[in-house]
Amino acid sequence: MAEDNKKATRSHSHKRRTSKKRPPRKQIDTRIFALGGLNEIGKNMYVVEHGDELIIIDAGVKFASEGLPGVDYVIPDYTYLKQNSKKIKGLFITHGHEDHIGGIPFLLQLVPIPFIYATPLACAMIRRKLEEHRLLNETKLIQIDITDPGWSMRTKYFNVGYFNTNHSIPESIGIVVNTPNGRIVETGDFKFDLTPVGRAADFQKMSFLGETGVDLLMADSTNAEVPAFSISEKKVSATIQQEFRKADGRIIVATFASNVHRVAQIVDAAVRFNRKILVYGRSMENNIMISRKLGYIKCPDRFFISNEEAKHLPDNEIMIICTGSQGEALAALSRIANGTHRQVKIKPGDTVIFSSNPIPGNQASVSRVINKLYRAGARVLENSAISDLHTSGHASQEEMKLMFLLTKPRYFFPIHGEYRMLVIHKHLYEQVGGEKDHAFILSNGDSLILRNHEVFPGPRVHADDIYVDGNDLTGLSTAVLHDRQILSEDGMVAVLIAMDSHEGKLLNRPIIMSRGFVYMKDSTDMIREAERIVQSKLNAELKGKTTFASIKNTVRDSLTSYFHQKTRRHPMIIPVIMNKKV
């Protein structure tokens, strides 16, 4: 940042350094790296290590996408943490979203984590997760006191504090890690909402950090491509109320269950327009329950009614709030749209409001749900046509600049985002005076060394993606994934060969089985012909000296070309040899 700032930082840090007795500083570096969250959106996990101490910030999961058939989750490789588990002093959670807490159940199965520090709402969400996985005894959950700005956690080397931010979930915080080599600030997911629903961001604390010296800022890059300043949650709230005013049938609102302030605004709108509330979707029910307990949703009990009670009310006194804003196949809204929801059937006059944007990759499924809702006669309001039905939880470009100006970091490490977002975030840092070679575009596993308030690149740690299918935490091998991809493209053909290798002859006609290749009943001629081809090829081959490997190759080669000629497809050919017991 600007030169005078750097001087201020240095002198302050110096003062702080001399005022406390710490182990000799020059000899130990502080190391910072990501195990997840760089060059991707999701599975955030950052590590700060100093000597025999280590703290973790966030433990997220990423939901697998289309390119990974049959994979449920992607998690970071926890090997480094496992190998260094004795150093771990705690896991700090910035907020309760899945890409920040969803990895905890996986992590706890592999790595002992003594303490998890999180705000009350995030604690409640994590506790529920741990209960589900029966892992509650594996760690100790400690609430960060968000009413005490001076709250901190101290270890031999670290002094860890927090500051309040705005995001699409309440109680989001940034983490401050004071180390013997200098101060690190990690923003978590953040935006600046100048008229937020809920508490304001901690401008004073961020300014104080900037004033007293931030050596390394790690900041959320998700919306680095979005110009200007994000829309306030209050504006969204006004738009929703406006649509409530217009609707004269039932209102069905789908939004993110974790966006507690949004849910609270929707509940408030229902109360204001005298509509009773039905809640559908497990995560929506859970989060409303937790949020009411914590006081984020304030609404008299009598407004929450059962499906039975709703039957006696006119349509314009009913509001349904549910999950499924991303078109998820099993979520409440998808079942409502499909006509397979047990309680709710769409009827003409219904207004369905999407208080959400489709996340990239979900557009097609959201579009399918909307078509079905139209077909059933509903009016559908989406953010793409009616603006301000939703706002992002992430900082746009001007907010990112504001974060730089408040915290005045000497070095910058853009996190949370795909490669181009990290690069654009770095450009923004330079635009407000940051030095080009003071910003680092890294990959998961790359490390930075913080040494006496200077930052430079360090050695790598292992940080591959681990694909989780079912409950297999060792991860799915890429060979298995590759097979699935081939199987899904053209199916497979198994060829069974019973032979007597001693006599050098086939014991039976080869048998061909297939799945996902051609419709067997319509293709008997082709399959019989393929069996004949294999038989004659093998009879010829068995006259001379051969090996099982060579036999398998013969089967593969002859069928690959035959099937391709007949169908232009390339099924996976699996020769199986059953040799006579000798």
Contact residues for a copy of itself, defined by CB under 8 A: 39, 65-66, 69-70, 225, 227, 360-361, 363-364, 367, 370-372, 374-375, 380, 384-385, 418-420, 423, 469-472, 474, 476-477, 479-481, 483-492, 494, 496, 498, 507-508, 511, 513, 515-519, 522, 567-569, 572, 574, 576, 578, 581
CA atoms of 277 and 280, how far apart (whole Å): 10
- Min. distance of Cβ 562 from a copy of itself in angstroms? 14
Catalytic residue among 58, 193, 215, 220: 220
CB of 448 to a copy of itself, least distance (A): 19
Q: Is 252 helix (H, G, I), strand (E, B) or coil?
A: strand
Residue number, 462 or 564, with CB nearest to a copy of itself: 564
**Cβ pair 449, 435 in contact under 8 A:** no
**Closer to a copy of itself by Cβ: residue 46 or 467:** 467
Distance of closest approach, residue 66 Cβ to a copy of itself, in angstroms: 5
| Other Cβ atoms closer than 10 A to 4 | 9
- Tell me if 411 sits within 8 A of 215, measured CB to CB: yes
Kindly give the residue spans of alpha helices, DSSP state H, lying in 253-325.
Answer: 260-272, 282-293, 307-310
Q: Is 36 annotated as a binding residue?
A: no
Residue 96 C-beta-side C-alpha neighbours within 13 Å: 25
Amino acid at 175: I
Q: Which residue from 208, 196, 207, 209 is spatially nearest to 166, judged by alpha carbons? A: 196
From 50, 394, 438, 453, the catalytic residue:
394
Helices in 222-281 by DSSP H: which ranges?
A: 233-246, 260-272
For a copy of itself, the closer of residues 196 and 491 by Cβ is 491
Per-residue DSSP letters for 73-89? EEEE--HHHHHTGGGEE
70 belongs to an annotated ligand binding site: yes
394 in active site = yes
Measuring CA to CA, how many Å separate 111 from each of 75, 76, 77, 139?
14, 13, 11, 10
> In this complex, which beta carbon is closest to a copy of itself, that of residue 174 or of residue 327?
327
Residue 453 appears among annotated catalytic residues = no
We find the least distance from the C-beta atom of residue 339 to a copy of itself, in angstroms, to be: 14
Question: Within 10 Å of residue 70's Cβ, how many Cβ atoms?
Answer: 14
How many other CB atoms sit within 10 Å of the CB of residue 140? 12
Q: Judge whether 550 is annotated as a binding position.
A: no
Q: Minimum distance between the CB of residue 511 and a copy of itself, rounded to whole angstroms? A: 6
For helices 120-132 and 282-293, what crossing angle results, to 10°? Answer: 140
- Choice between 149 and 491, CB closer to a copy of itself: 491
- Beta strand extents in 37-144 (DSSP E only): 45-50, 53-57, 62-63, 73-76, 88-92, 115-118, 140-143
CB of 225 to a copy of itself, least distance (A): 6
Does the annotation flag 425 for ligand binding? no
Q: Output 186 or 490, the one with its CB closest to a copy of itself.
A: 490
CB of 442 to a copy of itself, least distance (A): 12
Nearer to a copy of itself, 194 or 486 (CB): 486
Give Cβ neighbours of residue 9 (< 8 Å, ≥ 6 apart). Answer: 212, 213, 214, 215, 408, 410, 453
Report d(CA 568, CA 578) in Å as an integer: 30
Annotation-wise, does 166 bind a ligand? no
User: 72: annotated binding-site residue?
Assistant: yes
- The catalytic residues are 220, 394
Residues belonging to the binding site for substrate are: 257-259, 390-394
Residues belonging to the binding site for Zn(2+) are: 95, 97, 99-100, 167, 189, 416
